[in-house]
A and B are shown apart, each in its own frame.
Chain A
Amino acid sequence: MLRLAADVRRRMVDHCLAGLPEEACGLLGGTPDPADATVVYPTRNMAASARLYTVDPLEHLRADRDAEERGLELIGVFHSHTHTEAYPSPTDVAQAPDPGWHYVLVSLMHADPVVRSFRIVDGTIEEEEVEVC
């Protein structure tokens, strides 16, 4: 299960909406166990695409340092799907860098954004519950 602070969820969705028509992305900071995302780091999508995303590596570095200074760590990544469901694409699975991370998808295909979270381990997708608190 991934706990998302309500403010983190709101800022994540706002960043995704602001990124339209392209995909938007960012990183989540928090505690890994129990998985609790308390800080959101919206980042630039270097791919500048409606179908692909690449987190700006320099912003990733800065987020990593900031999380460490707060006594936290990066525990996941989020990105939007502008016209498809909030489910990992084959590209998401192939490029998932860390089996310990939480992969949060924000679908903007419906009027109300949908947020879901997944673990991706050795190419296998497993959905997890998201608790907004």
Chain B
Amino acid sequence: MPVEVRLPTVLRQHAGGLASVKANGETLEDVFGDLVRQFPGLAGQVVTEDGALHKFVNVYRNDDDVRYLDKLATQVSDGDVISILPAVAGG
């Protein structure tokens, strides 16, 4: 089912400059898999080679941080908005 995936500026270069794209899946893992099929340049940017969420990004399903849901196994529904944000930190 289609969801909207919102991309941070730093990743848009890998998605034809788009700020928001549609992707399909039952879970977040499916959605990110579909995203990489559409935009191969996004491979490794959100999900690590080991199949985990990259620690330098925060991912939200609507208003919920997916790390506090089921991480990549989080279910998504038609119309959900998935937001990918860079983790902003320093010293």
Chain A residues with CB under 8 A of B63: 58, 61
What size tier do the contact residues of chain B reach?
10 to 19
Of A2-10, A94-102, A122-130, the one with at least 4 CB within 8 A of chain B: A94-102
Contact with B along A25-52 (1 / 0, CB 8 A): 1010000100000000000000100011
On whether the beta carbons of A27 and B88 are closer than 8 Å, the reply is yes
**Which residues of A (64-114) have their CB < 8 Å from a CB of B?**
64, 73-74, 77, 79, 88-92, 95-101
- Say how far B64's CB is from chain A's closest CB, in angstroms: 9
Contact count A vs B, C-beta below 8 Å:
69
Interface of A with B (CB < 8 Å)? 23, 25, 27, 32, 47, 51-55, 57-58, 60-61, 64, 73-74, 77, 79, 88-92, 95-101
Contact B87 A57 (CB under 8 A): yes
Residues of B within 8 A of A101 (CB): 9
Contacts of B87 in A (CB 8 A): 54-55, 57, 95, 97
Of A55, A88, A91, most B-chain CB atoms within 10 Å: A55
Within the complex, the shortest CB–CB distance from B56 to chain A, in Å, comes to 7
